[in-house]
């Protein structure tokens, strides 16, 4: 699988860099005065200083939760998920606490949602078996 690339605006580049390196554990790649590349679990996440631009936020009811929209994140291995959840406790305010969703279905997964310092919603999730990532629910 090839890594994705996502570039987003931010209001404060230093705070964003600190959140992603200190809280999420990302490594810094290239950077300049107005942007920074971050290694988000092997994917390239870039923030560009653009003043106070922010995306509109919405919520979608999914499996008894109000899922923030838009959101992005990474599908981790179960051990990585548990380690990240432990690292985040006390460092972020969870929108949806780490939990197991869609129990007993092919979509069963561990998931958690929180916001970064810019207000972007992030979701990290894990499946016991990656072959269930795209498996449809049984009717």
Sign of CA dihedral 35, 16, 5, 83: positive
pTM listed for this prediction: 0.90
Write the pLDDT tens digit of every residue in 5-44.
999 999 999 999 999 999 999 999 999 999 999 999 999 9
Query: What is the β-pairing status of strands 121-126 and 109-115?
Result: antiparallel
Identify the CATH class of 58-132.
alpha beta
* Range 5-49 classified under CATH 3.10.180.10: yes
Task: Return residue ranges of the chain for CATH 3.10.180.10.
Answer: 5-49, 58-132
CA distance 122 to 70: 9
Q: Is 33 exposed, middle or buried (0-12, 13-18, 19+ CB in 10 A)?
A: exposed
């Amino acid at each position: 699988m090839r890594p994705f690339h996502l570039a987003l605006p931010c209001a404060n580049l230093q705070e964003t860099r600190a959140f992603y390196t200190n809280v999420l554990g990302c490594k810094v790649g290239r950077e300049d005065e107005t942007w920074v590349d971050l290694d988000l679990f092997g994917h390239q996440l870039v923030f560009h200083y653009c003043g106070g631009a922010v995306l509109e936020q919405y919520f979608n009811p999914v499996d008894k939760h109000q899922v923030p929209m838009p959101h992005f994140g990474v599908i981790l291995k179960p051990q990585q998920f548990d380690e990240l959840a432990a690292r985040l406790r006390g460092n972020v305010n969870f929108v949806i606490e780490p939990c197991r969703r869609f129990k007993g279905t092919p979509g069963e997964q561990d998931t958690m949602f929180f916001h970064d310092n810019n207000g972007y919603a992030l979701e990290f999730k894990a499946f016991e078996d990656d072959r269930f990532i795209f498996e449809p629910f049984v009717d």
